[in-house]
Structure 1
Amino acid sequence: MLEYGRFKYVTILVVVLLSALYALPNLYPQDPSVQITANRGYQVDAALEQKVVGELRKAGVAPKAVELEKDGELLVRLNDVNAQTHANDVLNAALGEHYVIALNLASTVPDWLGAIGARRMLMGLDLQGGVHFLMQVDKQAALAKRFDAYAEDLRVLLRDNRVRYESVERHPDNSIVATLAPGSDADAALALVLKSMPNLTSDVENGTIVVRVPEKEIQQITIDAIEQNVGTLRNRINELGVAEPIIQRQGADRVVVQLPGVQDTAQAKRILGATATLEYRGVVDGNPYDALSSGNVPPEGKIYYRKEVGPDGKPIPIILNKRVIATGDQLVNARSGYDSRSGTPQVSVTLNGIGGQRMFDFTSENVGKPMAVVYVERVPEVSTGPDGKEIRTTRTSEQVISVATIQGVFGKEFQTTGLESPKEAADLALLLRAGALAAPMDFVEQRVVGPSLGKENVSRGLTAVLYSFGFALVFFLVYYRMFGLITCIALLINLLMVVAVMSFLGATLTLPGLAGIALTVGMSVDANVLINERIREELRAGLPPQAAIASGYQHASGTIMDANLTAMLAGVALFAFGTGPVKGFAVSLIAGIVTSMYTAVSVSRGIATLIYGRRRKLKSIAI
């Protein structure tokens, strides 16, 4: 007989209510906004908020709201895209380089929906807009970094094997020259170098060892640097939580990065472009003020500046050893948190074996002596020349963020303190955890794709889905009558569930994704056609109407499951091996298949049972 358990009805009701709840955020529009974040050494506070409001008022821009966010950002909500662009130009001119001004799309979803994890479905660059970066790798910096590493390896090799030398220097002709001390065995030293550095060419010239990097090795260094940067950018973008990013090599030394979704470029540009890392260096004895005034800096030392300001209002100088103990390149993991003793922000660092061994060796020999942590950041800058053309330069910032006395011997696990804010600690941990760039990268081109450019794509895509949906509804209503109405209700619930699932998972909707949704509507129609035609066959075979309905659903369900599972396997393969838009299509396809199986088999059967199940003397049905 035609029966359906109460628990199944409760399940359908719960699923529909949850689907409606998690699809609801998509009805809330986003506000065009301008986001303001502070560069290092500056802060976002109430005074800045007042200044921003005043500048906008003078420019005749009426903001919808100005909000000071908990994470140290100022968000200016505007009424339309034109006001957003005008406000962006005004604030860029007023605040200068001390703050990062970025376009954004601010959510208007109520807090109570966000508290339960309900959020808007993300949209791709082709639908909602986003940002397009063209970045160029500084190949010379990559080579210089590798040559410096070779020079340091050569120093360590000679020192560990007790070969006395006067200096090890890198020359402009891609060679590294080690000048040995008088009486040193040059041939024995050369044998050590040849054994330890087989990929380089080495020989002895006038009592010095000359190490040259072959052209083939230079080319390989360049290729490795670009490939490492592509991987690092992908890791950093994953850390940022950007869905469906596109990261591709373009030409010999350029990388294209597309970040779909919101137009918030402040955080993305700072994280992608910065080559921030940490360097741990020993402190050299001596008076830094005397060294500055006389110019007599110890040969093993270099002048750095602390972030603290002295009585004269200038940063405090300090002399640090040129030799780096460990760097962020040797990092395995980094997590931000708080120092249990002082309550200040910190980054817990774990080094690899080489870095940990160097740190262990240094701390073993220098207990009770100070060690400094240097924050090194290379920031791209753009200025305008006399001819009006853009001049792209980079500013390298080296700042001592912490000087602490080594209390005991430690190796690969320790903490870095002295950071200004939890956000700075989180950003530094993100940069270190995502990996260091093998070479600096400059922003050659930046294009913000506004949401208005995607309106036509959204309109056409939604029109295609709605037309496919409408044609299916009309066909079913005409051809299957009452069961056509049941099918239409099941299809509407299916569409609601697809939107809810993709919103909950944080999936990105692209034009291929819309095509996937349209395809799943067609597949859901196929499932209902199988059920309805099977019911017709049972009626023609002479079964009573209620028995025909029950038999139709029972016998068609297996076929529907087999067909949909086969399609789902294809979707899983597309998701596993595809990239970018292909993955977007696969996500919407898989979500649609899962929901269509449930609505076609369970939901439509529940509705049919409600209509026909209680009629004891049912003689015919409209199908």
Structure 2
Amino acid sequence: MVYFAKWKIALVVSVCLLGVAFAAPNMLDRKTTDNLPGWLPNQQISLGLDLQGGSHLLLEVEAQTVINERLVSIVDAVRSSLRSERIRYTGLGVKDDAVHVQIKKPEQIDQAYDLVRKIDTGAETVTQGSKISITLTEDAILKAKRSAVEQSIEIVRRRIDETGTKEPNIQRQGDERILIQLPGIDNPEDVKRLLGKTAKMTFHLVNHNVSAEDLMAGRIPPGTLSLPDAENESRNYAVRRKVEVSGDMLIDSQPTFQDSRPVVSFTFNALGGKKFGQVTAKNVNRSLAIVLDGKVISAPNIQGPILGGSGVITGQFSVQEANDLSLLLRAGALPAPLVILEERTVGPGLGADSIAAGKIASIVGLIAVIGFMIVTYGRFGIYADVALMFNIILITAALSLLQATLTLPGIAGIVLTIGMAVDANVLIFERIREELRNGLGPIAAVDSGYKRAIKTIIDANVTTLIAAVLLFEFGSGPVRGFAVTLAIGILTSMFTAIMVTRLQVVLWLRKNKPKKLAL
């Protein structure tokens, strides 16, 4: 027992010193830590929305839009397939969440059915007389909606990260909702503006065969769309329905200036650059419409092939609008629009009161535990109290290093940990007392006490750790905040109770070699 390997001593001392180093920035103000050299620890604990104030947004993903778009793509595929086989049809379109088409010649129904049912593997195709109906399966609908929500969360995270917002909490809530908490943001209008745009950009050829009079009268041929001008919605463009190049092939977008006017430059990936070059090479002197969220933001004339995989979007942009558009294009397009269901702003005053109350609770709990251990176990109680102080330091260091967000329930987890941290020492000390009563000497009693108590300590802490992991996995918001500090507290308390306390006891036994223990 009195032998404590040198590498263990080095480990304990190193962990404690690192804990002090990473916890120390929390004693400084933010301005001072920002000015520290890069090689020094300078991260502070990130406070949650309930502690430092900020904005709370609850969004809903309009996942039905994804289903509608998939049905429209099926319509285009059906039209192309039937025309390629010269099968005459009528009434092709979407109605009641299904694609319907009427085959004119009865002898072509079987051929049409064979063509149509191969278009989408997630759809069911049925015939009723000369009418063919295509509906998406329940499994396909669920997968599409789930994918839309997951993709929306990732895009929202990218957009918010681009704004420089620190420690946003973005998570799924229910089947089609996204919870966003922005600590320190008391005016979320800029964020709402960015989140409110789908930013789905596509490139379409303009159909010059459709006149303005035809558009006004609604005479739009198949395969053509009438889309409004982003600057003047009373003006419409006739564009080909076919997407020549999709915005999801963009790899970069930056605001810049051209002829002293704000513009947005963009760069495609290899495949997008190749397709863009082919389109511009085949359609010189035709207009290419750049469509963003269903509106034409620019329709420049193709002067010649653009083979470099990059281009410039011009328009009546302000500097802020050019910055926002480039940010949206870099982050990617939302698969479906987002609707704000709930918005709340939490003032910093409530968080300050909570922090003050948490400090009082922590100090009172700490004093009570320290006093109890000293009165009950004397010298060994002091050793346990020293380990407890290092335990609190290590919790602070871990929260700072991991940048885990500290919430009000998280403070409750820390206070709970303070009370639980000495449990392991209590078990060990009581076991040592029992061995002393059985007649063992000081060194043998301490050695036996640690060996016999260690299994109980591990069992008790592992089961609590499992509960904390489950709380984090299945909980949300406040529950997760509590689970994080509880789990960190369990790990640090096991280290300090077993290693730090034991090192102090070993050093004292080596130095004094007592013949009796007053425990």
Same fold (TM over 0.5): yes
- Offset, 1:481: 1.5
| Structure 2 partner of 1:575 | 472
Query: What do the CA deviations read for 1:545-581 (whole angstroms, capped 9, x no partner)?
Result: 3554444334433432343233323333333344433
| Structure 2 partner of 1:132 | 56
> 1: CA distance between counterparts of 2:440 and 2:99?
93
- Offset, 1:494: 0.3
Bigger shift: residues 511-520 or 182-191: 182-191
| 1:542 to 1:191, Cα distance in 2 relative to 1, 3 A | closer
| 1:401 to 1:348, Cα distance in 2 relative to 1, 3 A | farther
TM-score norm. by structure 2 comes to: 0.73
**Residue pair 2:51, 2:355 contacting (<8 A) in 1 also:** yes
| 1:322 to 1:474, Cα distance in 2 relative to 1, 3 A | same
> 2: CA distance between counterparts of 1:323 and 1:129?
47
- Offset, 1:603: 1.1
> 1: CA distance between counterparts of 2:381 and 2:398?
25
Give 1:376's match in structure 2, choosing from 281, 287, 292.
292
Bigger shift: residues 192-201 or 487-496: 192-201
Q: CA RMSD in A?
A: 4.9
Query: What do the CA deviations read for 1:357-398 (whole angstroms, capped 9, x no partner)?
Result: xx9999879855469583514xxxxxxxxxxxxxxxxxx654
Give 2:33's match in structure 1, choosing from 109, 119, 128.
109
Q: Which amino acid aligns with 1:586?
A: A
Query: What do the CA deviations read for 1:508-554 (whole angstroms, capped 9, x no partner)?
Result: 22333233323333332111112222333343344443554444334
Aligned length: 487
Query: What do the CA deviations read for 1:327-380 (whole angstroms, capped 9, x no partner)?
Result: 45xx5x875489xxxxx96555588xxxx9xx9999879855469583514xxx
Higher relative contact order (CA 8 A, sep 6+): 2
- Offset, 1:467: 3.1
**Residue pair 1:190, 1:202 contacting (<8 A) in 2 also:** no
TM-score norm. by structure 1 comes to: 0.62
| Structure 1 partner of 2:416 | 519
- Offset, 1:459: 3.6
**Residue pair 1:571, 1:589 contacting (<8 A) in 2 also:** yes
Alignment of 1:107-186 (within 5 A): 109-112=33-36, 118-135=42-59, 145-163=69-87, 170=93
1:431 equivalent to 2:332? Answer yes
Alignment of 1:542-561 (within 5 A): 542-561=439-458
**Residue pair 1:337, 1:348 contacting (<8 A) in 2 also:** no
Give 2:428's match in structure 1, choosing from 521, 531, 536.
531
Q: Which amino acid aligns with 2:173?
A: Q
| 1:155 to 1:565, Cα distance in 2 relative to 1, 3 A | same
| 1:543 to 1:221, Cα distance in 2 relative to 1, 3 A | closer
- Offset, 1:472: 1.2
**Residue pair 1:25, 1:109 contacting (<8 A) in 2 also:** yes
Q: Which amino acid aligns with 2:52?
A: Q
| Structure 2 partner of 1:540 | 437
| Structure 1 partner of 2:499 | 602
Could you say what secondary structure the match of 1:276 adopts?
Answer: coil
Aligned identity (percent) is 29
| 1:417 to 1:466, Cα distance in 2 relative to 1, 3 A | farther
Could you say what secondary structure the match of 2:202 adopts?
Answer: strand
**Residue pair 1:190, 1:204 contacting (<8 A) in 2 also:** no
Bigger shift: residues 269-278 or 240-249: 240-249
1:12 equivalent to 2:12? Answer yes
Could you say what secondary structure the match of 1:120 adopts?
Answer: coil
Query: What do the CA deviations read for 1:601-622 (whole angstroms, capped 9, x no partner)?
Result: 1111222334442225x34444
| 1:482 to 1:365, Cα distance in 2 relative to 1, 3 A | closer
- Offset, 1:497: 0.4
| Structure 1 partner of 2:181 | 259
Give 1 or 2: higher strand fraction. 1
Q: Which amino acid aligns with 2:240?
A: N
Q: Which amino acid aligns with 1:430?
A: A
- Offset, 1:498: 0.9
Bigger shift: residues 240-249 or 524-533: 240-249
> 2: CA distance between counterparts of 1:538 and 1:601?
18
> 2: CA distance between counterparts of 1:575 and 1:228?
23
Q: Which amino acid aligns with 1:129?
A: G
| 1:237 to 1:191, Cα distance in 2 relative to 1, 3 A | closer
Could you say what secondary structure the match of 2:345 adopts?
Answer: strand
> 2: CA distance between counterparts of 1:143 and 1:160?
26
Could you say what secondary structure the match of 2:495 adopts?
Answer: helix
**Residue pair 2:245, 2:276 contacting (<8 A) in 1 also:** no
Alignment of 1:213-612 (within 5 A): 227-239=146-158, 240=160, 244-249=169-174, 255=177, 257-259=179-181, 261-263=183-185, 265=188, 268-282=191-205, 320-325=239-244, 327=246, 335-336=251-252, 346=266, 349=269, 368-369=282-283, 374=290, 376-377=292-293, 397-400=295-298, 417-418=311-312, 427-432=328-333, 436-437=335-336, 440-612=337-509
| Structure 1 partner of 2:259 | none
> 2: CA distance between counterparts of 1:422 and 1:550?
67
Query: What do the CA deviations read for 1:249-296 (whole angstroms, capped 9, x no partner)?
Result: 49xxx846241533273664345322112213346679x9xx679989
1:26 equivalent to 2:20? Answer no
**Residue pair 1:121, 1:507 contacting (<8 A) in 2 also:** yes
| Structure 2 partner of 1:78 | none
> 2: CA distance between counterparts of 1:511 and 1:122?
12
Q: Which ranges of structure 1 fall in alignment gaps of 5 or more residues?
A: 31-106, 310-316, 339-343, 378-395, 409-413
**Residue pair 1:575, 1:587 contacting (<8 A) in 2 also:** yes
| 1:194 to 1:458, Cα distance in 2 relative to 1, 3 A | same
**Residue pair 2:442, 2:517 contacting (<8 A) in 1 also:** yes
| 1:302 to 1:462, Cα distance in 2 relative to 1, 3 A | same
Q: Which amino acid aligns with 1:376?
A: L
> 1: CA distance between counterparts of 2:360 and 2:345?
26
Q: Which amino acid aligns with 2:203?
A: Y
> 1: CA distance between counterparts of 2:58 and 2:357?
29
| 1:199 to 1:29, Cα distance in 2 relative to 1, 3 A | farther
Give 1 or 2: higher helix fraction. 2
